[in-house]
């Protein structure tokens, strides 16, 4: 299953970035795409969703961390202060060899109706030009512009349809969010395939 979905994603990436098989020499097998799931999570909900995606598509996974952690019980005040001051948090660590990835799932919690500040900082620091980007998010009440903020920050990437779910649903096994994730990824493939036929 993992391999099937990964191959599907590879085809998505080829179609989306317009390479197509005609650019590949006949005798050469197409290179398997490198997939990365990168995300920020303060309270663990987006981690749950990121792990579901990673379990479905394989590849590598990277947690964005801030140099100074937000207080988990009073993150709103700390984040609001940064917004008021117009600053983004300093990040700790870097994705190794980001340039080598073809497909990047980027996950964020909704913060104040938008993409969280650590993910904004990641997108400012890392140039995703030419990559296929797939956003995902968790939220408390509604997704608002959490996905749209990622799309806006990636003007030179091919951005595919994102997925969002409430943090409560991500934690609730009865909601079977993992099945929704698998359907979403299969739908991405089918939609693109139908678009080019």
Question: Which residues sit at the interface with ligand FMN, rule CB under 6 A?
Answer: 41-46, 75-76, 79, 109-113, 138-142, 144, 167
Q: How far apart are CA 36 and CA 6, in angstroms?
A: 11
Smaller CB separation from ligand FMN, 109 or 135: 109
Smaller CB separation from ligand FMN, 58 or 113: 113
Q: Tokens 């030419």 label which residue?
A: 130
Q: Which sign does the torsion angle of CA 86, 62, 13, 34 carry?
A: positive
Smaller CB separation from ligand FMN, 34 or 171: 171
CB of 159 to ligand FMN, least distance (A): 21
CB of 79 to ligand FMN, least distance (A): 4
CB of 76 to ligand FMN, least distance (A): 4
CB of 181 to ligand FMN, least distance (A): 15
Give the closest residue to 47 by CA, choosing from 30, 34, 70, 64.
Answer: 64
Q: Are strands 91-92 and 65-66 parallel, antiparallel or unpaired?
A: antiparallel
Instruction: Give the residue nearest to ligand FMN (CB).
Output: 167
CB of 97 to ligand FMN, least distance (A): 25
Q: How far apart are CA 4 and CA 81, in angstroms?
A: 45
Q: How far apart are CA 26 and CA 182, in angstroms?
A: 32
Smaller CB separation from ligand FMN, 17 or 112: 112
- Asked whether the beta carbons of 112 and 142 are under 8 A apart, the reply is no
Smaller CB separation from ligand FMN, 8 or 110: 110
């Amino acid at each position: 299953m993992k391999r099937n979905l990964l191959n599907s994603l590879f085809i998505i990436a080829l179609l989306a970035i317009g390479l197509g098989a005609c650019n590949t020499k006949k005798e050469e097998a197409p290179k398997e795409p490198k997939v990365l799931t990168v995300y920020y999570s303060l309270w663990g909900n987006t981690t749950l969703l990121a792990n579901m995606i990673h379990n479905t598509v394989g590849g590598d996974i990277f947690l964005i961390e801030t140099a100074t952690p937000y207080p988990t019980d009073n993150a709103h005040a700390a984040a609001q202060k940064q917004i008021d001051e117009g600053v983004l948090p300093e990040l700790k660590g870097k994705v190794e060899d980001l340039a080598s990835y073809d497909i990047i799932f980027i996950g964020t919690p909704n913060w104040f109706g938008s993409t969280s500040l650590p993910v904004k900082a990641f997108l400012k620091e890392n140039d995703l030009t030419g990559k296929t980007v797939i956003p995902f998010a968790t939220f408390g009440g509604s997704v608002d512009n959490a996905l749209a903020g990622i799309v806006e920050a990636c003007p030179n990437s091919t951005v595919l349809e994102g997925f969002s779910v409430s943090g409560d649903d991500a934690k609730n096994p009865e909601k079977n969010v993992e099945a929704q994730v698998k359907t979403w990824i299969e739908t991405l493939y089918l939609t693109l395939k139908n678009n080019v036929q």
